[in-house]
Amino acid sequence: MTLTHPSPNYGERRGRGRVELVVLHYTAMPSCADALERLCDPNAEVSSHYLIDADGTVLSLVDEAARAWHAGAGEWGGAGDVNSRSIGIELANTGREPFAEAQMAALERILTGVLDRHGLGPVAVIGHSDMAPDRKGDPGARFDWRRLAVQGLSIWPKAGEPGDFIADLRAFGYPEASPDAMLTAFRLRFRPWATGPLDDTDRALAAGLPRFPG
């Protein structure tokens, strides 16, 4: 079920205004109602295009043609102002619990429509932690990226020959950041329970990442 609940927090897309990315977030708030209140509060100056509750209810907050305020500082594929280049989807989750089945199914439905409408491939779907590795950790270690990849709604790398980890991440789209931050962001998405220093498994998976076509 999709409901419309307009947020006043949006503006015009800048630059080319073309949607190139979909950025996934978790709300990190106690409930969907709390998140909805914040995303619609003019004083908070934050919003997203969609908010998905744990029960699968989808709230449409900002029209896809407009610039929602979800990404903040960061970049992807060598370019900034991610808000002007993306659709933002918030998932009601504190970051400490698994994402509900109904919520994931609703996300898959929304993603399918967004990618189709904007002519995007699975490489366009990223996490907030991907584009802002020095400051963000969502959608977090409990988010099932592999599930999306199986359905063609995200990517999952096949291990290649271990190479230059940072160069491979940069080619995929990651911004310049400290090596520790980049390893943390990479593992949050592709090896969420890995620990310790950079190893050949990290390098091999990074070598299998596609290049962002931006």
Give residue 89's Cα distance to chain centre.
Answer: 8
Q: At what angle do helices 200-207 and 165-172 cross, to 10 degrees?
A: 30
Tokens linked to 170: 């940069």
Question: What CA–CA distances, in Å, run from 125 to 18, 86, 128, 162?
Answer: 15, 9, 10, 24
d(CA 70, CA 60): 14
**Angle at Cα 162 formed by Cα 160 and Cα 163, nearest 5°?**
115
90 has catalytic annotation: yes
Which position among 90, 97, 108, 176 bears the catalytic label? 90
3-state secondary structure 194-207: CCCCCCHHHHHHHH
Active site residues: 90
